[in-house]
Structure formats: structure tokens, C-alpha cells
Amino acid sequence: LVWLETPANPTWGVCCVRTFAEASHRRPGTTVVVDSTASTPVLTRPLSLGADIVMHSATKYLNGHSDVLAGALVCSEKFARGDVWKRVRAGRRMGGAVLGPWDAWLLQRGMRTLFVRVRQQCASAMEIASRLSEHPSVTVLYPGLPSHPHHDVAAAQMEGGFGGMLSVRIAGGRAAAVGFAARLRVFRLATSLGGVESLAEHRASIEGGDSPVPDDLVRLSVGIESAGDLVADLWQAADGAAAEA
């Protein structure tokens, strides 16, 4: 089993799905699974790039309103005829992992606006990343920026945008990052992503002392609010954190 996540939360590294799939399938029986939650089907379609299974946390962008817990596994037509997929379906049926009717209705409602929401979130995230990268106390992690180490891969693989997720690293370490998050007024502090409201999270605090996430990093999920308002909110928080560093 080869498991990929692209873009990878929370540093938003991007891997070439086609390259990994071709290399992995040289070994018979290898299954390639891609977690494409952050990219959504709007921007990346891993099955067309050679993946066998695609996973989505449908709680996030597919629903888009932060009021459903759901997940989805989608496989290629070829993989659907194999034993592994039959076992997956049997496990789902026997374990009762079936979405309730109300949750299914809410998810369907959210998916009707998926393309509109993602396009807006991508455009706002790109504007935020470009503007905030000019702040002397902030380092922006976003694959849409040419400075990102995987920008070329993202530009070739993602269609129509680079996603609505980015992270910022705040000069001054953990205390400055926590202070930055606390000063936000338009962004809400919450552990989720992909909804219509913009959210911020100091990930290392959530995961605890063993977290591999840098403690100066704040993850941002861009909603559908005015990009100008979001930039202003982040800028004033960065100014405040810098003043106390």
C-alpha cells in the first residue's frame, strides 16, 4: 500500500501522483491511495493520474458548511473488479459505516456549490499568500507561490487553482504564533477546514508535545469572506505579534 496526501496538511507539500503511481505499480499487487481532501475533485482528479483509490474527508470541502461528519472512498473501474475493493465494501456494510439520511442530504446540498466555493477560496488564498508574504515577520507556505518548493509540480497537476489552505510561520516562535492566532478577528479559531468561514489553528497546540508540526506555524483555512478583510485581519495580527516578539 502506498499512501499519498497532496497537498499535504499542514505544510502543503505537493507530490506528483502520476510519478508515484507509475513507480508503485511496477510491483504487482501494490495499491495507491491518495488523500485528496485539500485539493478536492475541482482541482485534482487522482484516478486519472493513476491512483487506485481516492479518499476525501467529506466533512471538509465537499460539505463546505462545517455541519456534517462524512467520508468518501472512490476507486477506479479496474480496481472495483478486484478483491480488495470487495473487502472494503463488505467491511463498510458489516460495520455500519453508512451515512444517515439527514447527513446525506446536507452533504448533497453542500456539493451543489462545491465548484463556486473552491474557486473563490482559491482566489482569496492566492491573494492572501501574495500579500502576506510581504510582511517581514511572516513566512507563507502555499503551493501557489513560486517560492514554494513544489510550485512547479502543483502548477502541472492542479487545475484552476492551488487550494484554499495555507500556513504561516511567525517570527518569534511558539509564543508569537499563539499570539498571532489570538489576535485574529475575522478568522475563527477552530480545528477544521474547507468551510465557508475562515479558520485558523495553531496546530502544534492541538496535537500536543509529540507533534511534528513546527511550533511557529499557524494553519489557515480560507473561507468565502472578502479577501481584503482577511488580508487586513492577518496583517494586523502579524503586526501585533511582531510588536511583542
Same-domain status, 138 and 176 = yes
* Alpha carbons 109 and 118: distance in angstroms, whole number: 15
Q: How many CB atoms lie within 10 A of CB 206?
A: 11
Residue whose C-alpha is closest to residue 181's, from 227, 236, 132: 236
* Domain CATH code at residue 231: 3.90.1150.10
> Same domain for 145 and 182?
yes
Expressed as residue numbers, the domain containing 25 is: 2-111
Q: Model pTM?
A: 0.94
State the Cα–Cα distance between residues 235 and 86, nearest whole angstrom. 51
Position 207 scores a pLDDT of 87
Give the helix/strand (H/E) hosting 140: strand 138-141
pLDDT of res. 118? 99
How far apart, in whole angstroms, are the C-alpha atoms of residue 244 and residue 7? Answer: 33
Identify whether residues 155 and 77 lie together within a single domain.
no
- For residue 56, give the DSSP letter: E
Q: What is the pLDDT of residue 10?
A: 96
CA–CA separation, 153 and 45 (whole Å):
14
In this structure, the answer to whether residues 92 and 178 fall within a common structural domain is no
State which H helix or E strand residue 168 sits in: strand 165-170
In the chain (245 residues long), the average pLDDT of successive 10-residue segments reads 97 98 96 98 98 98 97 94 90 90 98 98 99 98 98 98 99 97 98 97 88 95 98 98 88
